Amino acid sequence: MATERTLVLVKPDGVRRGLAGEVIRRLEDKGLALVAMELRTLDRATAEEHYAEHRERPFFGELVSFMMSGPVVVQVLEGEDAVKRNRDIMGATNPANAEAGTIRKLFAESIEANTVHGSDSEENAAIEIAFFFKPEEIVG
Ligand code: UDP
Ligand code: MG
């Protein structure tokens, strides 16, 4: 297994409920290390670009509005197999289908307000990390 980086967002529902630390704790406990982090409120252009792959989906407009509804914690996590490891810690998109003990099973409010985002491949992780952070903002 190789050392990878992945992009994680604590979404507005998570920050609003004080779950940012809870998310970081769970990622660090499973061997992922924070190498970049920022609290920010996404504007429309940023939210739309982040979710551009879903532009044609019926939920896109509501999803973008939700992502702009409050601050998010944008993070880069690094470690062995980081992309899949983070997806396993997050759980399935729909909390109804998420495995017990995952972040989404424990904390998601709905399929939309599901507390966290995580990159779904190494290729997308590289794109998403470069979208949110300059190289010099990533430690190590
Ligand atoms: N989403 C939604 N309705 C759906 C499917 C997805 O609101 O029916 C939202 C949800 O917030 C999800 C995001 O769109 O996390 C991106 O969807 P994707 O299929 O990429 O899921 P993820 O990679 O986040 O598990
Ligand atoms: Mg996705």
- The CA 25 to ligand 1 mean position distance, Å, reads 23
Which residue's structure tokens are 């996404």? 42
Mean pLDDT (the chain) is 98
What's the pLDDT score for residue 98?
98
Choose the catalytic residue: 5, 26, 104, 117.
117
Q: Ligand 1, from 7, 63, 90: best to mutate by most atoms within 8 Å of Cβ?
A: 63
Instruction: Examine the residue annotation and report whether 117 is marked as an active-site residue of this protein.
Output: yes
pTM higher than the cut 0.85: yes
Orientation of helix 20-29 relative to helix 82-90, angle to 10°: 130
| Residue 74 near residue 34 (C-beta atoms within 8 A) | no
What type of residue is 96? Answer: A
pLDDT at residue number 1 = 74
Could you read off the pLDDT of 5-37 as tens digits, one per residue?
999 999 999 999 999 999 999 999 999 999 999
**Is pLDDT of 112 > 80?**
yes
- pLDDT tens-digit series, residues 65-84: 999 999 999 999 999 999 99
Task: Using alpha carbons only, give the angle 65, 67, 71 rounded to the nearest 5 degrees.
Answer: 125
